[in-house]
Chains A and B, each alone.
Chain A
């Protein structure tokens, strides 16, 4: 479960949240600025946090099966 005893790097802690954050922001703006393509990208990017939480929530259920 843990990442080991070495000194943790900030990218290991904040890397994934940063990517999710940047994509979320890009998604929020893309539907305003980039027409139909922006709208489709927006749906995917803004839904990313929901997808992550859903996957993490389902993970132990699949593991048990």
Chain B
């Protein structure tokens, strides 16, 4: 859409070469126009819903949906099993799926319960507990931001919705690459960052579209492609379960599920011993999608911005909490984990969140101006056979 339907200025090259170049530009222009047009509505949805999601912690806090731990700095944490019992008491008849410890909220433990260990993810109940006093701090994952998140992730259409948005992300990447190709013929006679605001409004918007588009290319590509990778998360996880995890639990094949479960405190202590220098990010109970029917899986994290994202699974016997196996995640899952901060922009403090939001707004302007240029071109075609951008560009 960056072309706005305009043709590049006439060059001094020979007729045949010029015709070839014009044909190439027309093809790239078609690619750019249609990949952008097809994905426009969905990209606008992603950008608009992505904007509040950058600040979802702050918004949840302001609206009273964020759990607030009691001031208990320096006091030892309560046994994890006590929190598990409190969670099961809060939701009778349900079973534990996961327990997680957020590195940014050390005073809070989050529990996940469901109707079955492999229950529908939409039926999961998340509750926060004070890590010191075990006091319930309310449900997590409720409030208006959940609706925004669902719209952003899958448009309430589950896995097909996720994959569809991933496809739109790929179209976005093609639109960006074709936009780079078209940047040359449309700006080669202009100084960088020239805005012809004395020309027609369409020409000025074409210049803004090209400028904002070209300076945000890397950010838009990184956020777009990491978003695409995130839509494949379930597929990657299924692949890991079918290969690496299946290999790790092979010695337990045919054994029945545990009749009683080891204490979560034992699981956490053994997992720490197995992965020195690492902390537990979350523990998956036996039978959940992140584990096997016989094992706990403790996912360990490091303490740097990078290693805190690269989780390492430790598999522990469900009954005895003995370590069964531990190995690094495969490259594709590590890529998924690294892609998440690069998509969310949550790894550089509040200044980076604000910059992320501003870049998101700029992307909305690029998409909106592209749409405007396309409409303006169609309107102009209806009135005049000579595109005014061509006249302006030829000046």
Contacts and interface: CB of A to CB of B under 8 A. Distances in A.
Contacts of A60: 195, 197
A32 B341 CA distance: 9
Nearest to A26: B218
A10 B183 CA distance: 11
A8 B188 CA distance: 6
A47 B219 CA distance: 10
Given A24-B218, A31-B347, A50 B358 contact: yes
Contacts of A1: 190-191, 194, 196
A2 B215 contact: no
**Interface size grouping (class) on chain B:** 35 or more
Nearest to B223: A28
B222 interface: yes
A28 B362 contact: no
Contacts of A25: 218, 222
Interface in B290-345: 304-306, 309, 338, 341-342
Contacts of A47: 355, 358
Given A31-B305, A50-B358, A17 B217 contact: yes
B221 to A, nearest CB: 9
Contact of A43 (B211, B305, B352): B352
B188 A46 contact: no
B189 interface: yes
A46 B347 contact: no
A20 B352 contact: no
Question: Which label, helix, strand, loop or mixed, suits the secondary structure of the A interface?
Answer: helix
Contact of A52 (B193, B219, B395): B193
Interface string B183-213: 1100111111111110000000000000110
B133 to A, nearest CB: 33
B56 to A, nearest CB: 19
B93 interface: no
B274 interface: no
A28 B34 CA distance: 30
Contact of A56 (B184, B211, B348): B211
Interface string A5-45: 00110101111110011101100100111010001001100
A22 B219 CA distance: 10
A2 B190 contact: yes
A43 B194 contact: no
A54 B132 CA distance: 48
A53 B362 contact: yes
B15 interface: no
Contacts of A43: 348, 351-352, 355
B193 A14 contact: no
A46 B219 contact: yes
12 contacts: A2-B189, A17-B192, A21-B218, A22-B218, A25-B218, A28-B342, A31-B305, A31-B347, A48-B215, A53-B211, A53-B212, A53-B215
Given A17-B214, A43-B348, A48-B215, 20 more contacts: A1-B191, A12-B192, A16-B192, A21-B217, A28-B222, A31-B347, A32-B306, A32-B309, A33-B305, A33-B306, A39-B348, A42-B352, A43-B351, A47-B358, A49-B219, A49-B362, A50-B358, A52-B193, A53-B212, A53-B215
